[in-house]
């Protein structure tokens, strides 16, 4: 029986190469009677933990004062539809206009502007109608 000089694996006499590592076996490598058939197993590397590498999360820019004005303008416009229209509708219009320069809530600012303008026109029309300041030809044309 031949023993591989590289990995100490016992091989049959007719083998020319080691069955474990593939090293060439020489003829003069006979096993002595004192040799045991146990051999050292190759040591496996320690297992690598299955850990995902850290992923960089893009940071979103925070809200600025223009975005806050867009929120305030929209809320003032909605509340101004029902009460305190003389104060809240112009305030909603101005703050919504400032909110258009924000980075995140431009749509809310445009909605606040639209609501403020339409509500202001309706309120002015109602005040003119109640005080009989609208000519009859406009009223008869609109509601006929």
The arithmetic mean of pLDDT across residues 99-104, rounded, is 86
> Contact at 8 Å (CB) between 18 and 4?
yes
Check pLDDT > 50 for residue 29: no
User: What is the rounded distance in angstroms from the CA atom of residue 112 to the CA atom of residue 76?
Assistant: 8
CA atoms within 13 A on the CB side of 2: 20
Q: pTM of the entire structure?
A: 0.51
Give the confidence band of 134 by pLDDT, cuts at 50, 70, 90.
Answer: confident
Exposure letters 39-73 (e unless 16+ CB within 10 A, then b): eeeeeeeeeeeeeeeeeeeeeeeeeeebbebbbbb
pLDDT at position 33, please?
45
Question: Maximum Cα–Cα distance for the chain, whole Å?
Answer: 129
Range from 7-21, 33-47, 53-67, 121-135 carrying the lowest mean pLDDT: 33-47
Distances, alpha carbon 11 to alpha carbons 8, 33, 35, 43, 52, in Å = 9, 15, 13, 20, 43
pLDDT at position 77, please?
92
Highest mean pLDDT of the ranges 31-40, 42-51, 86-95: 86-95
């Amino acid at each position: 029986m031949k023993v591989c000089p590289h990995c100490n694996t016992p091989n049959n006499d007719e083998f020319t190469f080691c069955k474990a590592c593939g090293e060439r076996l020489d003829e003069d490598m006979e096993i002595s009677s004192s040799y045991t058939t146990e051999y050292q197993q190759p040591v496996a590397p320690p297992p690598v933990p299955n850990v995902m590498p850290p992923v960089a999360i893009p940071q979103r820019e925070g809200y600025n004062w223009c975005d806050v004005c867009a929120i305030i303008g929209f809320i003032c416009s909605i509340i101004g539809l029902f009460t305190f229209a003389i104060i809240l509708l112009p305030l909603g219009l101005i703050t919504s206009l400032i909110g258009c320069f924000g980075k995140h809530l431009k749509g809310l600012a445009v909605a606040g502007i639209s609501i403020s303008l339409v509500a202001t026109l309706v309120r002015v029309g109602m005040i003119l109608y109640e005080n009989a300041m609208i000519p009859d030809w406009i009223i008869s044309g609109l509601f006929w």
